[in-house]
Amino acid sequence: MKLKKILCTLALSLTPALAFAHPGHGENGLLAGVSHPLTGVDHLLAMLAVGLWAAQQKGAARWAVPGTFVMMLLVGGLLGFDGLQVPYLETGIAASVLALGLAVALAARPPQAVAVSATALFALCHGIAHGLELPEMSSPYGYAAGFVAATASLHAMGYAIVRFMPKAAAPLVRIAGAGAALAGAWLIVA
């Protein structure tokens, strides 16, 4: 019964975030950059999924996947600061949540080049969105530092969940991935 109460409370606490895709942008600079990945459900799920998926990989891919995401997120952010408009950007972000969730749910281990390429494409979408949503009167440098730091922290959190949890709890990570995939599918059709 306790687990049911916790899940219901969590679901209710996320409801406002679903209604307002990216609340909390009243801050300027660093604080606005930090809040963006944390308050948008699409970004939050994708960033955590990257960390979860990276921890499921072998060898250098464990670091290449999140490292590539952070680097390409920054490149996308700079492109967004310059006003680059990409058609279907929000659909690309939703698709990244779906794909990354599926990758975690299936514990997929594609060749490193495939994993890094897909991650780079997803990161560009997220970065451009971050860049386009630069609050007025904000320092782009502070804002970028904020969204990069928050993203790296979410990756690290996802990675730590997988790497330090008991092996018997591993199915929970795959269930979380399936949940993220379902959320991504919902975001695509919503």
- For 186, the token pair is 């919902």
- For 77, the token pair is 């952010």
Listed in sequence order, the residues at least 6 apart from 95 whose beta carbon sits closer than 8 Å to its beta carbon are 184, 188
* Angle at 98 (CA atoms; ends 96, 100), nearest 5 degrees: 65
pLDDT of 99 above 90: yes
Instruction: Render pLDDT for 16-55 as a digit per residue (tens, 0 to 9).
Output: 444 334 444 455 788 989 998 999 999 999 999 999 999 9
- For 153, the token pair is 């922290």
CA distances from 167 to 9, 101, 163, 171, 172 (A): 27, 20, 9, 9, 10
pLDDT of 4 above 70: no
CA distances from 42 to 4, 39, 70 (A): 24, 9, 16
Mean pLDDT of 64-78: 98
pLDDT for res 190:
87
Single pTM value for the model: 0.84
- Write out the DSSP string of 22-45: S--TTS-HHHHHHHHHHH-HHHHH
